[in-house]
Structure 1
Amino acid sequence: MLYPEIVIAGCGNPLFADDGFGPAVIEEMEKLTLPDNVLIVDAGLGGPHFIFTLLDPEVTKKLVIVDIADYGAEPGSITKLRVEDLPPGAYRDAHSWDLAEPLQRIKDRIDVTIIGCQPARVTAPEFELGLSDEVQEAIPKTIRVILETIGVDYGTTINLQKEGRQRGTAETCSSGKNS
């Protein structure tokens, strides 16, 4: 199995309002032309656990996780966190599994960045499709932060048409490429 050098994973569940932020960012990023060494994947609800299957510390250099993060800011605000910034137990998935500890284990071998957006509302367990206006408006800025983080020039990727690139499906994951 070949692994990508850079993995960008959008985590969250679009059924719970702003919790769908990560997948919405990935959907927009799919419109960009990115280098072949970058894998973008909608990792969904169990995303952080799925992500670990896409990493090989011998090959993978960067992991960027895109998710909501309640850090007391104005809705739609973006923050860039390192694993060291996560207090134990502070980053949990929907099943209440602490994700900071597994990220701690890989942070010395893979550059891990969490890009979080302050949600306006998360409706779980009630269903509500669609992001709040504040979180929707944060998507372009988030994409610029991601591209800066992975060292891709924003100006050369925007408005370029995708040619046959797909999300991280089983086929693309095994090749380590999106094309």
Structure 2
Amino acid sequence: MPDFEKRIVVIGVGNLLLADEGIGVHAVNELKKESFPSSVEIIDGGTAGIDLLYLLEDADSAIIIDCVDAGTEPGSILRMPVDELMLQKPGQAVSLHDINLAEVLSMAKSLGVLPQTVIFGVQPVEIEFGTELTAAVKNTLPRLVQLVKEEISSLII
């Protein structure tokens, strides 16, 4: 990769066994079907939790896709700069993982490995055992993928 290219990581996180909680992984699976420059890495972060630090540390920019409970209309897509997510109060737009996304990002910032980061969150309908997305979240998937592709384009020099 030439020196002038920024390394961009797109990380989809979530649990495919908990219905809508898997939206991030479903989204990166769709993105992997697309063609991007070699400087863009599409990553299935699954339920990585603290291991996300390793995925972020050498990136210039990061896009994280996750299920986010913001109390909005099911299937709603939220785009949040990292600082906005880290400022959330308990009970507001947070990831639904054991160690939440805001905590991982805060650690990355403290360690000096947090790249320019934006989060795309999707409001779930259901977080229960099941491998299928609910209709509202599934219908959101094409728009989510398009928004992430637009974000990637804005980051490529």
User: Higher Cα Rg: structure 1 or 2?
Assistant: 1
Partner of 2:84: 85
RMSD: 2.2
Distance 1:98 1:119 in 2: 16
The SS at the match of 1:151 is helix
TM-score for the superposition, normalised by structure 2: 0.80
**Alpha-carbon distance, 1:99 to partner:** 3.3
Q: Relative to 1, partners in 2 of residues 1:103 and 1:145: Cα closer, same or farther, differing over 3 Å?
A: same
Higher helix share: 2
Identify unmatched segments of 5+ residues in structure 1: 153-179
Aligned residues: 142
Distance 1:78 1:7 in 2: 20
Higher strand share: 2
TM-score for the superposition, normalised by structure 1: 0.71
Identify unmatched segments of 5+ residues in structure 2: 1-5
- Deviation by residue 1:82-136 (Cα, 9 ceiling, x = unmatched): 12212155535532x243244231789511111000111111xxx2110001111
- 1:11-160 mapped onto 2 (5 Å cutoff): 11-46=13-48, 48-57=49-58, 60-86=59-85, 87=88, 91-92=94-95, 94-95=97-98, 97-104=99-106, 105=109, 110-123=115-128, 127-151=129-153
Distance 1:5 1:100 in 2: 22
- Deviation by residue 1:43-83 (Cα, 9 ceiling, x = unmatched): 1112x4222212335xx211111001111111111000112
